[in-house]
Amino acid sequence: MGAGISDEKVQEYLELIEFTARHPRLSKLVLNLTCNIPAFKDALPVSTKIYMGGRILESYRVDTKKGEISFAGVDRQIVGSEFLEIVYRNFMEAMGKEEAQKAMYDMHYKAMEEQLAELDYQSVLPAFCAPLFEAPVDLGLLDSNPALARLYREMECMLLRLLFNESGWGSPAFDSMPIPRRVTVRNSVESEWIRPSDEPICYAMAGLLAAFVSRISGEKYVVCETQCAATGADECLFSVVREK
């Protein structure tokens, strides 16, 4: 992995990211207009358009005749956020609390696992760095190339942003990248709908995060919520452990 990625391209893309972070208003007003020129619209990857001030929703393929929506090759559906509370409550009634919690975790693990397997990384990330995410991370390569490691972190943040923040799940942050030991989530959608609670409740979020980290690392990880906003904490905290 990583062989053949030119340092020049890595540097140029990092400069674009830094420039747009320094000049958000310029990005929104000028670069975003450039993104909407038809020739660029189709050619640029989603991440570049987002850095240039674009909206993720403009990158969806919406077929109203068929009633289908998809993002980067993954068919998607939209639910009201209350859906999670309703699923959890009905699962508890049908199979009991512990089984319901396990089912919420496993279902969302599988959903994220399939989503990441289907995702067209070439349309989300710049073509030269998409291959980095099509295989497990090569920590040795990132250790030996700090610029590439920085770019990898940025791209991983972008994936998190697209799959969590811009999909209405809340805002996760990893304590270290590429593989975290702890994840903090602000506004976890589960904790906002299944509250108040005496115990951590974000099983779906834990499953999603576990599948994400497992995909990045190429090894199976387990995620467990240790602090939850539904119990009154400011934000949700998850520990990430490699399965033995």
Partner 1 sequence: MQKMLPPYQVKAALKLTDFLDHHPWLVQKVLRRIALAPGIRRFLWVAIKGFMGATAFDCHVVDAANGRIDFGGVKETFYPTCITNIMRDTLEREVGKEKMDEIIRKISREAVYLEIKFGVEGHWFPKQFLSFIGDSSAMDVIRSDPDLLRLIAKGLNLTNRFIHDEGGYGCIESELGKEPIRLTITNSLTARKVGRSDRPTCAASCGMMEGAMGFMLGGTFHAKEVECAAMGAPCCVFELSRETAT
Residue 84 contacts partner 1 per CB under 8 A: yes
Crossing angle for the helix pair 203-217 and 146-163, to the nearest 10 degrees = 150
Residue 65 token pair: 């005749």
Instruction: Specify the 3-state DSSP secondary structure of 223.
Output: strand
Of the pair 84, 213, the CB lying nearest partner 1 is at 84
234 binds partner 1 (CB under 8 A): no
Of the pair 106, 138, the CB lying nearest partner 1 is at 106
C-alpha to C-alpha distance for 131 and 108, rounded to whole angstroms: 25
CA-CA distance, 199 to 195, in Å (whole number)? 10
Do residues 195 and 230 lie in contact, with contact meaning Cβ atoms separated by under 8 Å? yes
- Piece in contact with partner 1 (CB under 8 A), picked from 19-27, 40-48, 84-92, 135-143: 84-92
Which residues 6+ apart lie within 8 Å of 158 measured at CB? 47, 50, 124, 125
Please name the amino acid found at residue 64: T
CB of 118 vs partner 1, minimal distance in Å: 7
Residues touching partner 1, count (CB under 8 A)? 54
Q: Which of 87, 141, 157, 179 binds partner 1 (CB under 8 A)?
A: 87
Q: Return phi, psi of residue 192, to 5°.
A: -80, -25
Question: Is residue 75 involved in binding partner 1 (CB under 8 A)?
Answer: yes
Candidates 7, 12, 82, 219; binder of partner 1 (CB under 8 A) is: 82
Contact residues for partner 1, defined by CB under 8 A: 55-58, 60, 62, 64-69, 71, 74-84, 86-87, 90-91, 94-95, 99, 103, 106-107, 110-112, 114-115, 118, 161, 164-172, 186-187, 189, 192
